[in-house]
Amino acid sequence: MFTTRFQAWVRRNAQRLARFVSRLPITPNQVTVAGTLFTFGAAVLIGFGHLVWAGIVLALSGTFDILDGALARATKRSYPYGAFLDSTFDRYSEGAIYIGLAVYFLNQGGRWMRWEVLGCMLALAGSFLVSYVRARAQSLGFKCDSGIFARPERVVATVAGLVLPIPGILPAVVGLLAVLTNFTAVQRILEVWGQARAQRRAREAAAKAPSRGETSRP
């Protein structure tokens, strides 16, 4: 799966960078906050139409987003609050980017403006659902790692849409995000449904099976 291979490649390179950064007096939470601020800056640049600069800043913020977890592991500072803060700020970051995109499309106007803004809204809802479904499933004891468009792929696609000088590519990327984020959420819902069904069948089979103390009668 592309997502699995891509995330493995990202983790390997993040660990190399984290070993260097661990020598500096920087905490993982500070990296998380810095990455979020960079993302907010990218969102503002998008809203004002500075797309290439926004893509560069967003790519840099993605580096911070990857680095905080790797730094926490490298310095043995992995705490529950750090993971909570990272997940929460990730949602703020994604929301800021989609708001910036919606503002940009509104400022541009045009006959497709309403569809472009609707695409931003659908992509935002899908992105939030992808993360929520996984978090909720894991809190209930399910495994939820499937999906073709997790956060790293969303960031890469958004950066590409911002920096590539191809007419119409940004609306196309937003449309792609609107479809694939919600598709990924459905993939994860089905994955959890399959696990829940297997658990239910296992319980039903255990309930029907004779107990150990029960003996057969002639």
Residues classed as catalytic: 90
Residues 6+ apart with CB under 8 A from 142: 191, 192, 195, 196
Amino acid letter for position 5: R
CB 162 within 8 A of CB 51: yes
106 backbone dihedrals φ, ψ, rounded to 5°: -65, -40
H-helix or E-strand containing 102?
helix 80-108
CA torsion sign, 98 to 99 to 104 to 105? Answer: positive
